Every structure is written in C-alpha cells, then in structure tokens.
Amino acid sequence: MNKIAIFASGSGTNAENIIKFSKENKNFEISAIFSNNKNAYVIQRAIYHNIKYYIFSRPDFYESKKVLNILEENNIDFIVLAGFLWLIPEYLIEAYPNKIINIHPALLPKYGGKGMYGMKVHEAVVANKEKESGITIHFVNKQYDKGGIIFQARCDVLPDDNPGDIAKKVHELEYKHFPKVINNLLNA
C-alpha cells in the first residue's frame, strides 16, 4: 500500500476528502499531514482522523533536510499538495521525482504562478470575463504551477457569477476528482 503525505497550509477540506476516500478504497493510506502553519485547521482534521502531523518552519523546509528526514522515517511514497502555498525545494523534488502532485483552482497555464491561489484566482477569472474555469492537477517542479499536467476538469463561468460562485464550482470539481486522480496515478 502506498503511503501518502499531504502538505497543507489552511483548512484542509481537500485533505479531509482524500483521507475519507483512502479509508473507503484502501489503495493508499494517508500516513502524515505536514503544515507550515501551526494554526491551520488541517491539524485538527489530522487529530480527528488519528493521523500523525508535523508542523515545520521556513528554515526547517529550506535550510535543512528536516522535512525530508521525517518523510523518509515514515516511509512516505508519494506527496500530495492540497492548499500548500510554499514552493517545494529542489532537494525534495529530487527525492520524490514525479511523486509530488498539486491541485490548482484554475485551468493552467492560465492564472498560475506565485501569489495565484484561492480567491485571488477566482477574482482574476471574473475580472477577465472568462467563460470557463476549473481545476488542474499537475506534477510539481521547481516553479509554481509549471509541472506537467495530469488532469483538468472544467466548469462554466456564467456572466453573473462572482468569485464566490466560481469557488463553489471549483471546490466541487476538486472534491469529485482529486482523490480519484491520486488513486489512478498510484495504480498506473
């Protein structure tokens, strides 16, 4: 069974959805949650589901191999970024080649890159009068949102949609597709 670590910086709704999927499907397990935010609600979700969690600092992540050592101690096979906002350091990408994936709340290559996350993405979609938006699941490389695309799903953007309306549609796509794409990747 593949052991997955989820990296998250916020509330962890996608993390919880993946945890529930893994318990029902049993093709992978969520072995650890990592967060760069000691106040992130994802920590409460980890506690609730009895999953180990680790909180790390910027120096832990960028100036040492502390995070990598913890991943290796836990025999982690695969890393899923679910609302994690820091750029992944090169040493981690090299240790997990094509084994780190991210979900982005837009149809990349549009609306990606540093600073483009959450409502900022949906606000840009509305400002540019896009007719569709969606999600992109992609491999992680050395640049924000530039790794190879694994999967995209689309939703319509109606003329009277506001950023909150688009966020709701995008979240539905995330919950529907992210766990299945992870499962398919691990069984390929």
Q: Which of the pair, 7 or 24, is modelled with greater confidence?
A: 7
pLDDT at 27: 86
pLDDT at 26: 81
What mean pLDDT is predicted for residues 21-29? 90
What confidence tens digit (pLDDT) does each residue in 43-52 have? 999 999 999 9
- Burial class for 94, CB neighbours closer than 10 Å (0-12, 13-18, 19+): exposed
Residue 188 has pLDDT above 90, yes or no: no
pLDDT at 152: 98
Please tell me the distance from the alpha carbon of residue 8 to that of residue 5, in angstroms, as a whole number: 10
pTM, two decimal places: 0.95
What mean pLDDT is predicted for residues 142-167? 97
Confidence label for 32 from pLDDT (cuts 50, 70 and 90)? very high
Residue 25 has pLDDT above 90, yes or no: no
Q: Which class would CATH give 2-97?
A: alpha beta
Number of other CB atoms surrounding residue 56 within 10 Å: 19
CA distances in angstroms from 154 to 18, 22, 105, 136, 145, listed in the order given: 20, 24, 10, 9, 17
Q: Is there a contact between 112 and 141 (Cβ–Cβ < 8 Å)?
A: no
What confidence tens digit (pLDDT) does each residue in 111-131 have? 999 989 999 999 999 999 999
What confidence tens digit (pLDDT) does each residue in 83-116 have? 999 999 999 999 999 999 999 999 999 999 998 9
- b/e code 68-83 from CB counts within 10 Å (16+ = b): bebbeeeebbbbbbbb
pLDDT at 21: 96
pLDDT at 107: 98
Across the chain, mean pLDDT equals: 96
Q: Active-site residue numbers?
A: 104
pLDDT at 135: 98
Domain boundaries, the chain: 2-97
